[in-house]
Structure formats: C-alpha cells, structure tokens
Amino acid sequence: MIVCQNLHVTYRWRQEPVLKGVNGTFKGKSLILGPNGSGKTTLFRAICGLTNIKSGKILIDEKPIEEIYATKGVVSANFQDIYTLIDAKAFDLIRLYTDLAEGDPQLALKIIEDFGITPDFLKKRKLGELSSGQAKIFCTALALAMKARHVLLDEPFEELDPARKGRMVNYLNEYEGVVLINTHETWLLKNLQDWEAFLMFEGILYGPLTVKDLLNARISMAEEPGSLLRLSLSGKTVSIIKGKGKGKLLTSLENLDKMYEIAEGLKT
C-alpha cells in the first residue's frame, strides 16, 4: 500500500507548486486520470524517490520512503532514466536489472517479444537507440518483470496501437501486486472496470472513486448537489456527476486535455 500525505513538490524554475497537498491511498489496482502537465508524472517520481519533496510524507507499507530506498522487491517503475544508469545493450539490461531486483528476465522477454521486439534486435541497440514506443514497451516490461510489491507505470499505453494497448491491459490485470498507472486517455476505462480511480488536475488529486462510476459520469460546469467529485479547473468549478442528465459524458472525451475546452466553453 502506498500512502501520500499532504504532499507538496516545487521546482525551482516554476513559481507555482507542481503538487499541491496531494493526499491519496493506493492499494490493489488504481489509475490516475488527468491531462498532460497535471502533475501525474511528478507524483510517480516522488513516490520512487526520484524527485525531492518540499513537504508531506510518502509511506510504502507503512514505512517512510527514506527507509526503503534501494530495498529489493518494494517498488518498480517504467521511467527510462532508471534503466540508462548502466551503459549496455538493451538485451543485457534485462539480465542486469532483473538480477539486481531478483526479478524474472524471462517474463520481461516474453512481454517484449509479445509486442514484436525480438531479442536479436535488442542485442544490437542500447535503450537510448530504441524508438520512443519501443523504449516505453521495454521499460514497462522491465518494471513488471521486477516482481515488486508495487509497480508504477507512467503512461504505459503511450504510442501503442489499439491491439497492443489491449495486450498491455491484460498484463496489468494479471499482475499480482499493487499496480498504479497514470494516463490522460479515457478509452481504457471500459477495460479496467474493477480498478479504483483518481482524477488529477493542476497538481491536486481527487478521489478515490470507482472506474465503473467514471464510465457513466458526466461533466457539469456548476456546483452540482450529490456530485461524485468537484474539481477546480483554471479557477472554475467543474462537477463530475453520475447518471443520465445534463453534461457531457466523460468517456466521450478522447483524453482529459479536452476538459479545459469544456471549462472555457469551447466545442470538443
């Protein structure tokens, strides 16, 4: 279980905080849905210890993250910079990193080959020489193969075609540990109906609620009584409401970047 308590993160080149008092508990399988630039990736990097925290706490299995740095089997992630610390061919990285984590190199190869990337191809190239889509598949496969109790996947569906997205969903649903993913795409909700969901906008985390609730949720530009969630977008109140009635279906938006067009009264 991962717990974030009143988490604030600020970057030196930005006046406004990137994370603004984030509170959340992630157990089982959870997804964070939000537009690009909302703070999703920063939150994941903070949980992994890759970004400095200004204030607040992160607990993993009730222990502060400072106490579990470099502990095997606790957390894995698909950030590419984790796997470029060693200068080697991509194929060799699989054995190196799974050995360090006591993971399963054969699982990594199985996933990678399932997405059409061959071992011979990886033997000839370094990770930085792969296309962005290939690198995302490679790093996600490695994160899953670490067999950690918690796996964090940053935009794991990015640059995948529909068939490959479906395959990735299957691997995520089959994973036995805690899975936390983030995305700005809404298409996957119908495939993750048993998951817990959070929304993230402008550095603030909202939720939890169920993915099933989001499948029938509508967006209203007003403070609606009995709403599932109330969000603040560019200073405007947006309600996420359940059931039929006024408002636009959340799943009718290709991605949550479109929420700002609704907030500004533009056509989507």
Lowest mean pLDDT among 1-5, 126-130, 149-153, 229-233: 229-233
Contact 82, 70 (CB under 8 A): no
Measuring CA to CA, which residue among 23, 71, 62 is closest to residue 43? 23
Please name the residues in contact with 69: beta carbons below 8 A apart, sequence gap of 6 or more: 49
Give ∠ CA 40-41-42 in degrees, rounded to 5: 90
For residues 119 and 135, give the distance between their C-alpha atoms in angstroms, rounded to a whole number.
14
Q: What is the pLDDT of residues 110-143, one digit of tens each?
A: 999 999 999 999 999 999 999 999 999 999 999 9
The alpha carbon of 85 is separated from its chain's Cα centroid by a whole number of angstroms, namely 22
Q: How confident is the model at residue 71 (pLDDT cuts 50, 70, 90)?
A: confident
Helix (H) or strand (E) holding 63: strand 63-64
For the chain, the first-to-last Cα distance in angstroms comes to 37
Contact 151, 143 (CB under 8 A): yes
CA atoms within 13 A on the CB side of 109: 15
Mean pLDDT of the chain: 92
Q: Provide the token pair at 138.
A: 């490679």
Q: How confident is the model at residue 268 (pLDDT cuts 50, 70, 90)?
A: very low
pLDDT for res 218: 93
pLDDT for res 225: 87
Count of helices and strands (H, E) across the chain: 8, 14
The pLDDT of residue 41 is above 70: yes
Measuring CA to CA, which residue among 68, 75, 82 is closest to residue 150? 75
What is the rounded radius of gyration, in angstroms, for the C-alpha atoms of the chain? 19
Output the DSSP codes for 179-247. Answer: EEEEESBSGGGGG-TTSEEEEEETTEEEEEEEHHHHHTEEEESS--TT-SEEEEETTEEEEEEESSSSS
Q: What is the pLDDT of residues 175-191, one digit of tens each?
A: 999 999 999 999 999 99
For residues 144 and 137, give the distance between their C-alpha atoms in angstroms, rounded to a whole number.
11
For residues 203 and 22, give the distance between their C-alpha atoms in angstroms, rounded to a whole number.
8
For residues 236 and 238, give the distance between their C-alpha atoms in angstroms, rounded to a whole number.
6
Contact 212, 250 (CB under 8 A): no
